[in-house]
Amino acid sequence: MLPPLPLLPGTGPMIRIEDVHKSFGTVKALDGLSLEVPPGKVFGLIGPNGAGKTTTIRILAGLLRPDEGRAFLNGLGQDRSIETRRILGALIEQPGLYGKLTLQEYLTFFARLYDLDRGQARKRIQDLCELLDLNVQTRERLQGFSLGMKQKVALARILLHDPPILLLDEPTAGLDPLITKKVREHLLGGKDRKRKTILISTHNLDEAIRVCDEIAIIHKGRILEKGSWEELRERHASGCRVVMYLRELREDHADLVKESGAVSEIALDPDRNRLAYTAADVAETNPLVIARLAAAGARIVSVEVEGAGLDQAYSRLIEGSEGTP
């Protein structure tokens, strides 16, 4: 029988990477990457394609060896693979499944690898298939499953032994919104929430904001910045976004906005009669913009002010790093 979840240590990270380098031929995937994830936290890695997110996940999962540096899970290095796999569930992008097996056979096989007894295995498989809406497919062969269904099967597999550490590479790719919501609530809303330490790599900024306690922006194999999304927004997103709807939008409206003060990122959407811009000081700038537009005969329907978002901070950090070697 699989032993109960190990107690999380009172201090020290559950996930730790120290100055890791990894290259594939002439391509440098990770360039001195270091990060730590404390017990019970959800940590998000966000970055563009090729930033090093998947390579990081694969090294932590023991599927790749770093060229330099070290990786640890609950203090265990890569030389302790048998022990780490008992406390780890790793969802890798495009997971390989055993297509000739049925869903029931596949999950039962992995339950045996994790030493779950028949009663435990039956209950876990039943619960996970219900959670992921896979009940009617249990006797179907995996080779006929769609991409979204395969993603759900992979999720079921890594959750079978209820591990305290999860590595999730684009976990909601191919999942419909309802299943995404159910999985999120299962992982983040249960009584064992603080017993799970989760590292998520994702392109989805909204998902990162919603679920992550801390976020690291990664590019060219390096961590550019990390912190809560509120901290990143305050440090790197200047001003607020103003969205204005008019009865009729003209091209010269952009010039009037530009002349009104400290504004940037002016955008016109003629199909929706929508004008948008970023203002460093909304309280000072907006009255000037509105006055100039009104004097030019513009009829303003509504004005909305949006707080600066993680997407702005993300864009500025990525763009600012493009010139670095």
Classify domain 238-307 by CATH number: 3.30.70.100
pLDDT for 25-55, tens place per residue? 999 999 999 999 999 999 999 988 889 999 9
pLDDT at 262 over 90: no
Q: How confident is the model at residue 187 (pLDDT cuts 50, 70, 90)?
A: confident
pLDDT for 273-307, tens place per residue? 999 988 877 778 888 899 999 999 999 999 987 76
Alpha-carbon distances of 39 from 20, 59, 93, 181, rounded to whole Å: 21, 19, 24, 23
pLDDT for 168-182, tens place per residue? 998 877 778 888 888
pTM of the model: 0.75
pLDDT for 7-28, tens place per residue? 444 457 899 999 999 999 999 9
Residue-by-residue DSSP string for 71-133:
EEETTB-GGGHHHHHHSEEEE-SS----TTSBHHHHHHHHHHHTT--HHHHHHHHHHHHHHTT
pLDDT at 129 over 80: yes
pLDDT at 94 over 90: no
Mean pLDDT of 218-233: 87
Tell me the three state secondary structure of residue 234. helix
Q: What residues form DSSP beta bridges with 141? A: 102
% residues pLDDT > 70 (the chain): 89
Domain segments of the chain: what residues? Answer: 15-234, 238-307
Superfamily (CATH H level) for 15-234? P-loop containing nucleotide triphosphate hydrolases (3.40.50.300)
Mean pLDDT of 44-69: 93
Compare 96 and 300 and report the one with higher pLDDT.
300
Alpha-carbon distances of 271 from 64, 222, 245, rounded to whole Å: 50, 40, 11
